[in-house]
Amino acid sequence: ADDSRGRVPFALIGVLLLLGSTTYATTLASGGVSVDRDAEIAMDRAVAASETALRVAASRAARDAARTPVVSPATTQWGDVIDDSRPFRDSLRLRIYVAARAGFERATYTHGDVTAAASLPATPTPDALDDALDRVTVAGVENGTALRVTLRNVSVVARQDGRVVARETANRTVTVATPVLALH
| Model confidence pLDDT, tens digit, residues 111-155 | 888 889 998 988 888 888 889 888 998 888 887 788 899 999 999
CB 151, CB 96: distance < 8 Å: yes
pLDDT at 72 over 70: yes
pLDDT at 104 over 80: yes
Of the listed ranges 12-21, 142-151, 159-168, the least confidently predicted one is 12-21
State the Cα–Cα distance between residues 115 and 113, nearest whole angstrom: 7
Confidence of residue 60 (pLDDT cuts 50, 70, 90): very high
State the Cα–Cα distance between residues 115 and 162, nearest whole angstrom: 9
Angstrom CA distances, 84 to 91, 125, 165, 178, stand at: 11, 19, 44, 24
More confident residue, 36 or 124: 124
More confident residue, 154 or 85: 154
State the Cα–Cα distance between residues 115 and 109, nearest whole angstrom: 6
pLDDT at 34: 47
The H or E element containing residue 11 is helix 10-29
- Percent of the chain at pLDDT exceeding 90: 15
pLDDT at 28: 67
Average pLDDT over residues 37-56: 88
Confidence of residue 35 (pLDDT cuts 50, 70, 90): very low
More confident residue, 92 or 79: 92
Confidence of residue 182 (pLDDT cuts 50, 70, 90): low
**152-178 burial, b if ≥16 CB within 10 A, otherwise e?**
eebebbbbbeeeebbeeeeebebebeb
Mean pLDDT of the chain: 83
